[in-house]
Amino acid sequence: MNEHFAVSLPVGTSLANHTGAWRTERPNYIDRLPPCNNACPAGENIQQWLYHAEEGNYQAAWEEIMKNNPFPAIMGRACYHPCETSCNRAQLDEPVSIHAVERFLGDRALSEGWRVSVSAEASGKKVLVVGAGPSGLSAAYHLARKGHAVTIVEAGPVAGGMMRFGIPAYRLPRNVVNAEIERILSLGVTLRLNEKVEDIPALMQREGFDACFVAIGAHLSKRVDIPSPDAGRILDALGVLRTMESDAPAQLGRRVIVYGGGNTALDVARTARRMGNEAIIVYRRTRDKMPAHDFEVEEAVEEGIQFRWLETIKHMSGESITVEKMALDEKGFPQPTGEFEVIEGDMVVLALGQDVDTAVLDTIPGIEHDKSGVVKVGTNMMTGHPGIFAGGDMVPSERTITVAVGHGKKAASNIDAYLKGITIAPKEKHPVATADKLNTWYYSDADKTVQPMLDMLRRKTTFGEVVGGLDETNALFEARRCMSCGNCFECDNCFAVCPDNAVIKLGAGNRFKFNYDYCKGCGVCVAECPCGAIEMVLEDI
């Protein structure tokens, strides 16, 4: 070996088939999983549709979303965007406002009348979906696109589930909900309302269904015993929100006390405020332990909602409500102090969480429940009874609309496989593109676009939508803030900086390859790749 190019190699290695004595590593193009994609419960290919959006090809971007999620206009408003929490752009300035771009695309689709089609041939199979909430509707959408005949049976008078009854109109306008549900039904999905299913196997046999997906939401409110001579002054949060969709909304009185710390508690308090009432939230822990999202707490404070931390409600008599103050122990858990205070309030609304009514499944052979009462399912979303699948709030999971939508998609894929007599092998995921793999010096600071807000007077007095959408200029800017983490976007940096002319361009959309006969393994291409799509690997020697 020429001493001028001597390198230290592991003991026992040889230089057989080595292309250069100076190279122990070679560059290799790699696809990494964007953290936004990885965090999306609905399984959206966020980076791909952002790419289309930043090119101004909005319909292609929307169609990419629709491969996985049939509710972009809804999700752009109601999802708590874990994708943004994971966004690497936050290490540079602020995360990409993914939900705002998704909302823009969803709204554009509604205004332009964009539609999806069913390209699959009719399978001749029939699938029953029990529950017309986000999970059931999602499953119906994907099953219909796979060519199956789908019937949704819903116990209530209207479809939407928690998208309609659990999220107030000031966060999610009903015309948006109606339009995106109608688009699913236009695929040929049958919707039967005001029909409660009592016996699933009997219904399947009677009407010739080949499989069933059960997606009954968590609509049973948890209760706590608050002694009161007037039980009519104690309501449950979901019941209150449900009346907002009727012609007879609940009469809440002048001063409403909401007991709980989740998003539903905030929704009820902010609804009461819009009805002209004073609203106070009583929560047994501190704000940092509140399960409600920070931005919702901030909006509630702006609207005049009052908060009483570290307190529990012990008794109600007339308009007098007795609360006990709590104190944190050495482990940070609230403990009663024996110190009481009386506050004034006309009504107490309980927002302590929800349970699922699984009675329809309790007598079906093979179906089991876990200790929390929800249904056990396999990795394929099927219960212990062949052909009956379950998802959404009915199975162990985080209870959000986006998780429910993801369950519907996953169940549809597995139901499709079940009907075809096959199984689906889990797809191997690429490694996640973490921030340390990026070269952010190529990206100039560009803070995310702030969405417009409804003026405060109307926020307090009407149910007008609080957060506005982006216009085309802002949506385009926001999409272009995406750094394409982990995947080549053909910036040509590697081609330009290679000192050996070892990078070969393969044409638009085909990326590049290395000519290892010329590459000496210097690693400049890796150092200069902005999105971390090249790695150095040990030479095969």
- CATH code for the domain in which residue 56 is found: 1.10.1060.10
Q: 467: which DSSP letter?
A: B
Q: How many domains are contained in the chain? A: 4
pLDDT in the model for residue 21: 56
The answer to whether residue 93 sits within a structural domain is yes
Rounded-to-integer distance, Cα 411 and Cα 395, Å: 12
CA quadruple 80, 81, 86, 89: dihedral sign: negative
The answer to whether residue 427 sits within a structural domain is no
pLDDT in the model for residue 214: 96
Which residue, 430, 456, 479, sits at the end of a domain? Answer: 479
Phi and psi torsions of 460, nearest 5°: -85, -20
Distance of CA 351 to the CA centre of its chain: 22
If asked whether residues 228 and 329 sit together in one domain, one would say yes
If asked whether residues 106 and 130 sit together in one domain, one would say no
The answer to whether residue 430 sits within a structural domain is no
Q: Hunting for tokens 């199979």 — which residue is that?
A: 125
The answer to whether residue 175 sits within a structural domain is yes
pLDDT in the model for residue 319: 87
pLDDT in the model for residue 24: 83
Give the domain CATH number at 15. Answer: 3.30.70.20
pLDDT in the model for residue 398: 85
Q: 187: which DSSP letter?
A: T
The answer to whether residue 44 sits within a structural domain is yes
Beta strands in 215-317 (DSSP E): 220-221, 234-236, 255-259, 278-283, 306-309, 311-317
If asked whether residues 368 and 471 sit together in one domain, one would say no
Residues of the chain with pLDDT under 50: 1-20
Phi and psi torsions of 5, nearest 5°: -120, 20
If asked whether residues 264 and 338 sit together in one domain, one would say yes
Phi and psi torsions of 220, nearest 5°: -100, 115
If asked whether residues 344 and 401 sit together in one domain, one would say no
Cβ atoms of residues 504 and 512 within 8 Å: yes
Distance of CA 249 to the CA centre of its chain: 29
- In sequence order, the 6+-apart residues with CB closer than 8 A to the CB of 323 are 282, 308, 311, 312, 313, 314, 340, 341, 342, 343
The answer to whether residue 7 sits within a structural domain is yes
Quote the domain boundaries for residue 179: 126-219+362-420
3-state secondary structure of 213: strand
If asked whether residues 26 and 48 sit together in one domain, one would say no
Cβ atoms of residues 539 and 521 within 8 Å: yes
If asked whether residues 230 and 341 sit together in one domain, one would say yes
If asked whether residues 232 and 291 sit together in one domain, one would say yes
The answer to whether residue 163 sits within a structural domain is yes
3-state secondary structure of 325: strand
Cβ atoms of residues 284 and 312 within 8 Å: yes
If asked whether residues 49 and 67 sit together in one domain, one would say yes
pLDDT in the model for residue 105: 98
Give the domain CATH number at 340. Answer: 3.50.50.60
If asked whether residues 472 and 373 sit together in one domain, one would say no
Rounded-to-integer distance, Cα 204 and Cα 309, Å: 50
Cβ atoms of residues 431 and 33 within 8 Å: yes
Which residue, 428, 461, 479, sits at the end of a domain? Answer: 479
The answer to whether residue 425 sits within a structural domain is no
If asked whether residues 171 and 133 sit together in one domain, one would say yes
pLDDT in the model for residue 13: 38
If asked whether residues 110 and 174 sit together in one domain, one would say no
Helices then strands, each counted (H, E), the chain: 19, 19
Distance of CA 308 to the CA centre of its chain: 30
Rounded-to-integer distance, Cα 53 and Cα 473, Å: 11
Cβ atoms of residues 151 and 128 within 8 Å: yes
Let me know the angle formed at the C-alpha of 318 by 315 and 319, rounded to the nearest 5 degrees: 90
pLDDT in the model for residue 359: 86
